[in-house]
């Protein structure tokens, strides 16, 4: 408790960290530095890793599909627009085949891509940003703040996600993709915040954090400058996991038919294929497979991207700016000491 | 000890909060708790003057009482394990739940333990032979497994193994003809029926567990104390188990028990696909039948189960990692 008052009083008195060194940099230098640090290097590092490159390409494909739908470059799905249950890759005006009511499957998939992407983004952003705030503050501040936040997130953690979403879905009937994304991850932040908190707990004992504290740096500044960079790779990976959870949860719930919908989307298509005979004959198998591939593809792209995320934020990789996988290059003798 | 006491004291509070939430959610549902029910009862031919009494019997709530009175009644009902009566099944909700809960717990616990053990083993071997072909193959496979939700595995398994090749049953927890009891036949039937759901629920989780374990192990392998242990000439087996495995698994342990919570909710979809008579299955069928008492009962019980799981996670983590049992850190 004593440290808290000490640090506050001293921070008001002087701020000796006035950034005299940066004054020597011109604005142009700074812009260049910023570009190099936040645009050029991440892109080079991301592109140099096969997994991340593949992930970017896959996600780019989905963005393209969304763009195709937004600009209306492909027909809208409607019944009897094509022969029924056409197998894929036979008729090139309907490359992925059709459903049992003659709906173009590719049109179905493309039509719901913007919806799904928006929902996934909303879910991921909501869950991770809330978790980061909650986790860093409660982990770093400790004491009473921690107890209060932990109790609240304990409560939210105690509610199993999907059943809550199911009950909320009846109450709210969310059909807006952003609202749906938020509802789906309504309590995802609690568990994530908890694990961020436990990471912060070990970071707050680090000597550089203690140094900042003794110097009288304010809590928000310490959290942003000293704590956040350490957990950033973890946060980004979890952003992707939250996004993945949003896809899985939404499609799963659409699939078993508990979410309200107006148009079709991947989950609804899967549901229709499943309950209208896709399970019994191999003729309708493509109808079942196409939405599955759409779901798995998106999740796969996200996960591949997250695999390389660690390198983008890892200063050791950045300084080297070498493309090859660090761990793969080193032989067994160096892995043990390879940390430095 | 203080920490454990405080942690234990928090349970009733959390449960109370959950009950309150359930009570509030019932009110959020379209038409509230009574409108739907009233229409249904009148349609069933219940005389109008008896409807309120019936509602009270079904939901433990007097529809004409003030809100706080309703809340207290609901609370009293839950505490005495009386969750009202299911409209669609015509049985006390508690009876339905008592039948369903073991199936869900069985499904979740078995698949989660399997997932954890298999994932840890694969990840450890990967880390040990880092960069080998085995490592690369399994890393790729793990990433792919993470991208496939369990219900897709479920549908694929059902399509091939159950419908096309008839190797496994397509649903339910045991064969209809087999009586439940401590007979080999019954157990065989239960295992046979549970195989596909458990398989679908296990496979998807193996990927992330293995990747986690691999990452943790590689990090631990780089620690100085491992190097020191090596220099001291300790046997590889001792280093692998006591130094590397233990420290690599530790951070995954809290994750595991939290995961049980996530998976407890996640069974809803799987149980529905496999018509597996667990809590999730009843939750969905209650939803479809507008059976609010059963629905909220299932919701409440899933939640309380999760509260207990998280509590166990917290307590055991303190035992495993001594740094945590120091409890809450000083405030800054």
Interface of A with B in 14-33 (CB under 8 A): none
Q: Find the mean pLDDT for residues B119-136.
A: 87
Q: Cβ distance B70 to B62 under 8 Å?
A: yes
Q: Classify each residue of B49-75 as buried b or exposed e, where b means 16 or more C-beta atoms within 10 Å of its C-beta.
A: eebeebbbebbbbebeeeeeebbebbe
Using CA atoms, how far apart are residues A278 and B101, in angstroms rounded to an integer? 31
* pLDDT reading at A129 higher than 90: yes
Cβ contact, residue pair B254, A295, below 8 Å: no
Q: How far is B143 from chain A (nearest CA, A)?
A: 7
The alpha carbon dihedral of A45, A46, A49, A50 has a sign of: negative
Fold annotation for A41-317: MetI-like fold (1.10.3720)
* A146–B contact, CB cutoff 8 A: yes
Phi, psi of B85 (to 5 degrees): -125, 140
Of A145, A154, A274, the CB nearest to B14: A154
Cβ contact, residue pair A157, B310, below 8 Å: yes
Q: At what angle do helices A161-172 and A228-255 cross, to 10 degrees?
A: 60
pLDDT value at position A283? 76
The pair of structure tokens assigned to B188 is 């065989």
Q: What is the pTM of this model?
A: 0.80
* A158–B contact, CB cutoff 8 A: yes
The pair of structure tokens assigned to B54 is 């019936």
What DSSP designation does A81 have? Answer: S
Interface of A with B in 242-271 (CB under 8 A): 244, 247-248, 251-253, 255-256, 258, 270
| Secondary structure (DSSP) of B117-155 | HHHHHHHHHHHHTTTSHHHHHHHHHHHHHHTS-HHHHHH
Radius of gyration for the alpha carbons in chain A, expressed in angstroms and rounded: 25
More confidently predicted of A241 and B323: A241
Split at pLDDT 50, 70, 90, the class of A11 is very low
Interface test with A, best of B147, B228, B263, B280 (most A CBs within 10 A): B147
Domain ranges of chain A: 41-317
In A97-232 the beta strands, taken as DSSP E runs, fall at none
Query: What's chain B's average pLDDT?
Result: 80
Split at pLDDT 50, 70, 90, the class of A327 is very low
Q: Find the mean pLDDT for residues B209-213.
A: 87
**Cα separations in angstroms, A250 against A106, A182, B2, B122, B240:** 20, 11, 42, 30, 41
List of chain A residues whose C-beta atoms are within 8 Å of the C-beta of residue B147: 244, 296-297, 299-300, 302-303
Cβ contact, residue pair A253, B264, below 8 Å: no
Residue-wise pLDDT for B274-286, tens only, equals: 888 888 889 888 8
Flag the least confident range among A75-89, A265-279, B141-155. Answer: A75-89
pLDDT value at position A131? 92
List of chain B residues whose C-beta atoms are within 8 Å of the C-beta of residue A303: 143, 146-147
Using CA atoms, how far apart are residues B332 and B325, in angstroms rounded to an integer? 19
Q: Which residue of B has its CA nearest to A144?
A: B331
On the CB side of A262, how many CA atoms lie within 13 Å of its CA? 6
* A132–B contact, CB cutoff 8 A: no
List of chain A residues whose C-beta atoms are within 8 Å of the C-beta of residue B330: 1, 142-143
Residue B161: count other Cβ atoms within 10 Å of its Cβ.
Answer: 17
The pair of structure tokens assigned to B160 is 């091939």
Split at pLDDT 50, 70, 90, the class of A236 is confident
Of A143, A158, A285, the CB nearest to B307: A158
Split at pLDDT 50, 70, 90, the class of B118 is very high
Cβ contact, residue pair B222, A338, below 8 Å: yes
List of chain B residues whose C-beta atoms are within 8 Å of the C-beta of residue A141: 331-332
Q: Cβ distance A252 to A99 under 8 Å?
A: no
User: How far does CA A223 lie from the centroid of its chain?
Assistant: 21
Cβ contact, residue pair A145, B151, below 8 Å: no
Domains and CATH numbers, chain B: 2-79 (no CATH), 100-329 (1.10.3720.10)
Q: Cβ distance B191 to B222 under 8 Å?
A: no
pLDDT value at position A128? 93
Question: Which residue do the tokens 């900042």 mark?
Answer: A212
Using CA atoms, how far apart are residues A126 and A163, in angstroms rounded to an integer? 19
Flag the least confident range among A169-173, A177-181, B47-51, B85-89. Answer: B47-51
Cβ contact, residue pair A303, B295, below 8 Å: no
Question: Which residue do the tokens 């800054």 mark?
Answer: B332
Split at pLDDT 50, 70, 90, the class of B42 is confident
Interface of A with B in 169-198 (CB under 8 A): 170-171, 191, 194-195, 198
The residues pairing with B85 across neighbouring beta strands, listed in sequence order, are B92
Cβ contact, residue pair A141, B226, below 8 Å: no
Query: What's chain A's average pLDDT?
Result: 77
Q: Cβ distance A331 to B185 under 8 Å?
A: no
Q: Find the mean pLDDT for residues B111-139.
A: 88
The pair of structure tokens assigned to B253 is 């342990």
**Cα separations in angstroms, A168 against A181, B74, B123, B299:** 13, 20, 38, 11
Split at pLDDT 50, 70, 90, the class of A121 is very high
Phi, psi of B306 (to 5 degrees): -65, -40
């Amino acid at each position: 408790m004593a440290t808290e008052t000490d640090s506050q009083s001293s921070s008001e008195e002087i701020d000796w960290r006035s950034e005299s060194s940066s004054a020597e940099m011109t604005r142009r230098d700074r812009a260049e530095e910023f570009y190099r640090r936040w645009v050029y290097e991440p892109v080079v590092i991301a592109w140099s890793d096969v997994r991340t490159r593949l992930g970017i390409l896959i996600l780019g494909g989905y963005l393209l599909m969304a763009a195709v739908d937004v600009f209306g470059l492909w027909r809208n799905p409607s019944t009897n627009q094509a022969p029924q249950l056409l197998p894929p890759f036979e008729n090139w005006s309907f490359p992925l085949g059709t459903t049992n009511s003659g709906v173009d499957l590719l049109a179905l998939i493309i039509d719901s891509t913007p919806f799904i992407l928006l929902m996934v983004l909303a879910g991921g952003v909501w869950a991770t940003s809330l978790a980061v705030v909650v986790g860093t503050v409660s982990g770093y501040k400790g004491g009473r703040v921690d107890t209060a936040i932990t109790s609240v997130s304990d409560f939210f953690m105690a509610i199993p996600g999907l059943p809550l979403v199911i009950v909320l879905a009846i109450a709210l009937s969310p059909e807006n993709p952003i609202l749906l994304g938020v509802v789906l991850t309504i309590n995802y932040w609690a568990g994530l915040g908890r694990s961020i908190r436990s990471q912060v707990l070990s970071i707050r004992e680090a000597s550089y954090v203690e140094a900042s504290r003794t110097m009288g740096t304010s809590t928000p500044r310490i959290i942003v400058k000293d704590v956040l960079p350490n957990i950033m790779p973890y946060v980004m990976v979890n952003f992707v996991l939250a996004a993945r959870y949003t896809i899985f949860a939404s499609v799963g719930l659409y699939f078993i038919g508990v979410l309200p919908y107006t148009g079709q989307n991947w989950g609804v298509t899967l549901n229709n294929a499943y309950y209208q005979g896709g399970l019994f004959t191999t003729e309708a198998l493509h109808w079942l497979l196409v939405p599955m591939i759409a779901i798995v593809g998106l999740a796969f792209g996200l996960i591949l991207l997250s695999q390389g995320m660690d390198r983008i934020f890892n200063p050791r990789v950045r300084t080297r700016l070498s493309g090859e996988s660090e761990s793969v290059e080193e032989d067994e003798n160096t892995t043990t000491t390879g940390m430095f | 000890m203080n920490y454990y006491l405080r942690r234990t004291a928090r349970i009733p509070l959390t449960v109370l909060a959950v009950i309150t939430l359930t009570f509030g959610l019932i009110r959020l549902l379209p038409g509230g708790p009574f409108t739907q029910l009233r229409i249904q009862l009148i349609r069933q031919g219940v005389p109008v003057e008896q409807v309120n009494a019936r509602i009270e019997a079904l939901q433990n709530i007097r529809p004409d009482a003030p809100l706080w009175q309703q809340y207290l009644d609901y609370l009293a009902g839950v505490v005495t394990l009386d969750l009202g009566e299911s409209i669609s099944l015509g049985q006390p909700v508690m009876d339905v739940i008592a039948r369903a809960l073991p199936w869900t717990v069985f499904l979740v616990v078995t698949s989660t333990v399997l997932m954890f053990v298999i994932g840890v083993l694969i990840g450890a071997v990967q880390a040990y032979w880092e960069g080998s072909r085995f490592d690369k193959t399994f890393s790729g496979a793990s990433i792919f497994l993470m991208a496939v939700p369990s219900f897709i595995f479920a549908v694929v398994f059902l399509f091939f193994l159950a419908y096309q090749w008839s190797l496994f049953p397509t649903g339910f927890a045991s064969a209809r003809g087999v009586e439940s009891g401590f007979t080999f036949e019954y157990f065989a039937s239960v295992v046979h029926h549970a195989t596909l759901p458990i398989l679908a629920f296990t496979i998807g989780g193996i990927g992330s567990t293995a990747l986690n374990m691999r990452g943790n192990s590689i990090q631990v392998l780089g620690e100085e104390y491992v190097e020191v242990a090596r220099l001291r000439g300790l046997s590889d087996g001792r280093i692998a188990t006591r130094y590397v495995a233990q420290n690599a698994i530790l951070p995954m342990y809290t994750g595991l028990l939290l995961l049980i919570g996530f998976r407890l909710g996640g069974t809803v979809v799987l149980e529905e696909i496999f018509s597996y008579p667990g809590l999730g299955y009843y939750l969905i069928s209650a939803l479809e039948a507008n059976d609010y008492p059963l629905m909220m009962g299932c919701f409440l019980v899933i939640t309380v189960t999760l509260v207990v799981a998280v509590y166990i996670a917290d307590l055991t983590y303190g035992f495993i990692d001594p740094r945590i049992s120091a409890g809450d850190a000083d405030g800054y």
